[in-house]
Structure 1
């Protein structure tokens, strides 16, 4: 007999970690100083030589005459207003390359999702092994999770049948963290239960009974989420070549730039099944390679 709830049940694995708070505090502690000019009063001054007729013929060049412009003059306020306008315009024009907010100040949130044939159970074992040994509380451990996952996929291209990528470039770390959390919650909600977890080095494994519906595993879906300082790109995936390029780009992000990594996969247990209907309903953005 086929139980109707089996179609909506799927074990899920999740591993990774985040370091948004530490990066945000170090960023906010930076201070910037504005040079001050010496002088008795604000404003600026300039001097120009005096030209006049010489009693002996020709032109007489006299001593420089100082002309001061005080802070209360209309010209000074016009200048200050113009500078303020330029500054505000720079902040508002964040979309341009020459804006005040540089590429280093931005945070990129990347998502790569891969659909695989269910016969690729070696990938499930690889991900289980990575989750069991990784120290996800350190930047090096997060880098290990990211590189080992991308390598596992690169080693089994024949199992990959569909994929999807997205890139969100945010103004700062807080916006990046918000987007990363949103994507994580969205993906986790597709699992019936997280049966293997290693997040920030907090590990948990479920001993729930496995499904015994008699069907072989049809598909596997692996989702990689990453947040990194600066601007990073992934290609739009229309074939195996773009998938390979996307995996290489993800795996080569320096650990010093990583703010968060999360790898989610379903089914986590080899005895569970992800049917074609579940694949289409829960992962509609996947496109055939």
Structure 2
């Protein structure tokens, strides 16, 4: 009963979102200690005591050069610098450190399988992609919020789900993981027929007609990179899916580094069959 001619019809995909990793690296810190050049802390020596050179019971004090009024402040700064270095070393070895928690980047993925009758939801995604300004953090937050709301409003269409969370130790590692997940999902499309990424928009005018194959599905993938540590529950039921969507929608726009929403099929005349659903999205689990 499977019609191979319909396989190509499932390849249209929509994609919207954007990235701002470079502007999200505000948590990186640097510290400096006054050097020797041009500073009032330029040189110092510690007084020492030794026997008098010509005998006798007395002692004399060696020279103490350049010990100014600011020497105590110098030692305070040196001690502070040492504390920062030691704290950073110890925090790298502790996953629960407060210092490194804000420096980490979390990459979240939520994937939802829906019945094909949820065409109104697909129309919602098309509308969001056409109106969103994906060049700003507020626009990315809008894409994320509107997508999660669209899914929350149609729980009866959702039949399967999957979530993953990757906490990376730097922005660069988070960006690499986000790009990897994006490429994996985009590789499942033969053509991106509707695109709005970093406010660069493109829409294909080509259209393919389905031949009445009614066993159809829709898959929506949400990718988010956010500053700090964030969590999603494993998707084992509809309650887990609802919680995951609410958590994604609650991420502050100031913490968002990247958002990407991908869905297939994008073209309303295309079909995603059950066989293609199982082959291309094997991690989806029934709700």
After TM superposition, the score normalised by the length of structure 2 is: 0.79
Cα 1:2–1:171 shift into 2, 3 Å: closer
Could you say what secondary structure the match of 1:16 adopts? Answer: strand
Cα 1:173–1:124 shift into 2, 3 Å: same
For 2:159, which of 143, 148, 161 is the aligned residue? 161
Report the counterpart of residue 41 of structure 1 in structure 2: 44
Could you say what secondary structure the match of 1:183 adopts? Answer: helix
Q: How does 1:229-268 map to 2 (within 5 A)?
A: 229-268=227-266
For 1:269, which of 264, 267, 270 is the aligned residue? 267
Could you say what secondary structure the match of 1:261 adopts? Answer: strand
Report the counterpart of residue 282 of structure 2 in structure 1: 284
Contact 1:2 1:213 in 2 (8 A): no
Q: What value does the CA root-mean-square deviation take over the aligned residues?
A: 3.0
- The separation in 2 between residues aligned to 1:116 and 1:144, in whole angstroms, is 22
Report the counterpart of residue 66 of structure 1 in structure 2: none
Unpaired runs of 5+ in structure 2? Answer: 49-81
- The separation in 2 between residues aligned to 1:106 and 1:268, in whole angstroms, is 34
Could you say what secondary structure the match of 1:256 adopts? Answer: helix
Report the counterpart of residue 192 of structure 2 in structure 1: 194
C-alpha deviations, 1:22-48, integer Å up to 9, x for none? 223x455x4323489969537899xxx
Contact 2:91 2:97 in 1 (8 A): no
Q: How does 1:10-159 map to 2 (within 5 A)?
A: 10-24=11-25, 26-27=26-27, 30-34=29-33, 41=44, 90=90, 92-95=92-95, 97-98=96-97, 101-159=99-157
- The separation in 2 between residues aligned to 1:250 and 1:35, in whole angstroms, is 44
Cα 1:42–1:155 shift into 2, 3 Å: farther
Could you say what secondary structure the match of 1:119 adopts? Answer: coil
After TM superposition, the score normalised by the length of structure 1 is: 0.79
C-alpha deviations, 1:95-135, integer Å up to 9, x for none? 3x137x52100000000000000000000000000000000
Contact 1:20 1:260 in 2 (8 A): yes
- The separation in 1 between residues aligned to 2:232 and 2:121, in whole angstroms, is 23
Contact 2:108 2:225 in 1 (8 A): yes
C-alpha deviations, 1:54-107, integer Å up to 9, x for none? xxxxxxxxxxxxxxxxxxxxxxxxxxxx98995685255143x137x5210000
- The separation in 1 between residues aligned to 2:84 and 2:219, in whole angstroms, is 51
- Is 2:216 the counterpart of 1:214? no
Mean Cα deviation higher: 205-214 or 215-224: 205-214
Cα 1:39–1:229 shift into 2, 3 Å: same
Deviation at 1:6, TM superposition (A): 3.0
Could you say what secondary structure the match of 1:105 adopts? Answer: coil
Could you say what secondary structure the match of 1:6 adopts? Answer: helix
Cα 1:160–1:87 shift into 2, 3 Å: same
Which structure carries more strand by proportion?
Answer: 1
Unpaired runs of 5+ in structure 1? Answer: 46-81
